[in-house]
Amino acid sequence: MTIEFPLVIDGVWREGSKGAGEDVLNPATGDSIGRVAHASTADLDEALEAASRGLREWQAVSPWQRGAVLKDAADRLRADADRIARSITLEQGKPLAEARVEVIRSAEFLEWGGEQARRVAGRTMRGRDAGHRIEVETHPVGVVAAFTPWNFPMALAAKKFAGALGAGCSIICKPSEETPASVLALAKALLEAGVPPAAIAVVFGRPEEVSSYLIPASAVAKITFTGSIPVGKLLAAAAGRVMKPVTMELGGHAPTIVCGDVDPEKAADFLVKAKLTNSGQICLSPTRFFVEESIRERFTARFVEHAKAWRVGDGLDPRTQMGPLANERRVQAISHLVEDARGRGATVAAGGERPGGRGFFYAPTVLTEVPDGAEILRTEPFGPVVPILPFTDEEAMLEQANGLEFGLSAYVFTNDAARQQRLKDRLQFGTIGINDVVTHPPEVPLGGWKESGYGTEGGIEILAPYQKTKFVSVR
């Protein structure tokens, strides 16, 4: 095989039938680390046929045993964490330590999905009269088509595999072509742990061609996507035309409210790290910093000091605090947002440039005096740039914080209990951090409000998006 990142269909690791593919780049250098195979429609037909067969085979495995298999796969990821973490850093750019955390989080999701598999139950009720019984059965929804992104290439796929496989579904996953290695490692662990080969497929290709082929395919029963709002709307519309259920985990633009009673230096120390994790390429990342005027100067000074000193470099270097952005597209997007703000009169207090040399790097950037019309106030940055927006009037700030179509996450920093309560209640977001910036642990159902998505992933309800019920009336 001449391809480093193959398709996985029916347990066979192989090239696409037409031999098509594309280079996968190391974002720290821009160099190719191998080629990823593209699936043809004939390959997708094979994946669909296998998944229908895999659904029957996997459904026949008891929920208890499904739990054991997922736990085994989780153990395999943990045992191989160092090697997998390196492959994530090579394809995605994040520092090795962050990549390792991602592998462990992925294992936790598989384990959690397996634990919940063991709790799958239906219910029985007495009917309306003697001799009548009602049964409610829980079934796997069917073959799942999953589309996953490049920012947490393993963890965001692991959530979907955990829910789908835990529920007894088979799954065809199309990861980002830019980060194929981590989902292939996930598939390997699951197959070695005993998931039937037909029940898992990993396919790559041109995203719009693959999704427009898989979504209407009669074998597919459920669509799940993590990515941007515009692509989410396209996929949800395609699923709507064939009346298929969707789960959508989309973008955010998190208001991060720093109130005047907190220690501004401590808040800046905490928030700079949260902001620059994964180079800011996190849907939950804090992105619009509303800082109360009384502490604005001290908060900004400390944040800027950190941003300028932050060690940006190759994620394989243990000294690196922030790696490159994942692709050239992100560098262009961030440059555009910064130049737009600068052109409208914003001050670039730190960064604001692409360092010289190779790779997809962009300096940690702080914008102040950002005028109302600046695009960054409306567009999710998904990168290492922060607009600092002073406020004095809480009501006006809240209106601005809630004023976008995003409803994923928001953060409040204050030690005033009444203010914590008031702001938490008023913020129209699915996730709130109080003196905290969150990540997604498997025990929590995470989902966006407004255009940030439909449905949740994780929590005790992790299997629910992949289940359907059957009502049986017995006389």
Binding-site member from 211, 300, 321, 414 for ligand NAD (CB under 6 A): 211
Q: What is the DSSP string of 241-278?
A: HTT--EEEE----EEEEE-TTS-HHHHHHHHHHHHHGG
At closest approach, how far in Å is the CB of 185 from ligand NAD? 17
Residue 199 DSSP class: G
User: What span, in angstroms and rounded, lies between the C-alpha atoms of 433 and 287?
Assistant: 13
Sign of the alpha-carbon dihedral angle for 7, 11, 17, 19: positive
Distance from C-alpha of 11 to C-alpha of 198, rounded to nearest angstrom: 6
Give min distance, CB of 440 to ligand NAD, in A. 10
Among 5, 109, 112, 147, which residue interacts with ligand NAD (rule: CB under 6 A)? Answer: 147
Q: Which one, 381 or 390, has the nearer CB to ligand NAD?
A: 381
Mark the segment that binds ligand NAD (CB under 6 A) among 54-62, 231-239, 301-309, 370-378: 231-239
- From 40-48, 69-77, 203-211, 396-404, give the range in contact with ligand NAD by CB under 6 A: 203-211
Indicate the helix (H) or strand (E) that contains 387. Answer: strand 385-391
* Closest to ligand NAD by CB, 61 or 246: 246
* φ, ψ for residue 438, nearest 5 deg: -95, 155
Shortest distance (Å) from residue 235 CB to ligand NAD = 6
* Enzyme catalytic residues: 249, 283
Measured from the Cβ of residue 155, the count of other Cβ atoms closer than 10 Å reads 24
Nearer to ligand NAD, 284 or 462 (CB): 284
Q: Which residues between 292 and 351 bind ligand NAD (CB under 6 A)?
A: 329
Which contiguous run of DSSP H or E holds residue 222? strand 220-226
Asked if residues 406 and 453 have their Cβ atoms less than 8 Å apart, the reply is: no
Does 455 bind ligand NAD (CB under 6 A)? Our answer is no
Rule CB under 6 A: say whether 251 interacts with ligand NAD.
yes
In the chain, the amino acid numbered 461 is: E
Nearest distance, CB of residue 336 and ligand NAD, angstroms: 12
Residue with smaller CB distance to ligand NAD, 244 or 302: 244
User: Are the C-beta atoms of 171 and 201 separated by less than 8 Å?
Assistant: yes
Shortest reach from residue 140's CB to ligand NAD, in Å: 23
Q: Which of 17, 29, 59, 228 binds ligand NAD (CB under 6 A)?
A: 228
Residue 149 is a binding residue for ligand NAD (CB under 6 A): yes
Among 137, 192, 208, 353, binds ligand NAD (CB under 6 A): 208
* Residue of 231, 257, 268, 271 that binds ligand NAD (CB under 6 A): 231
Stretch that binds ligand NAD, among 144-152, 364-372, 411-419, 421-429 (CB under 6 A): 144-152
Q: Does 449 bind ligand NAD (CB under 6 A)?
A: no
Dihedral, CA atoms, 26, 30, 32, 37, nearest 10 degrees?
70
- Which residues 21-40 are close enough to bind ligand NAD by CB under 6 A? none
User: What's the rounded Cα separation, in Å, for the pair 349 and 307?
Assistant: 9
For residue 130, CA distances in Å to 125, 126, 267 come to: 12, 8, 65
Binding of ligand NAD at residue 102 (CB under 6 A)? no
CA 449 – CA 406 distance, rounded (Å):
7
CA angle 437/250/430 to nearest 5° reads: 50
Conformational region of residue 168, where left means phi above 0, alpha means psi within -120 to 50, and beta covers everything else: left
Which residue in 270, 361, 362, 382 binds ligand NAD (CB under 6 A)? Answer: 382
Closest distance to ligand NAD from the beta carbon of 150 (Å): 5
Q: Is 374 exposed, middle or buried (0-12, 13-18, 19+ CB in 10 A)?
A: buried
Task: Say how many Å lie between the first and final Cα of the chain, rounded.
Answer: 60
Work out which of 11, 30, 34, 207 binds ligand NAD, going by CB under 6 A.
Answer: 207
Count of residues in contact with ligand NAD, rule CB under 6 A? 21
Binding site for ligand NAD (CB under 6 A): 147, 149-151, 176, 207-208, 211, 226-228, 231, 234-235, 249-251, 283, 329, 380, 382
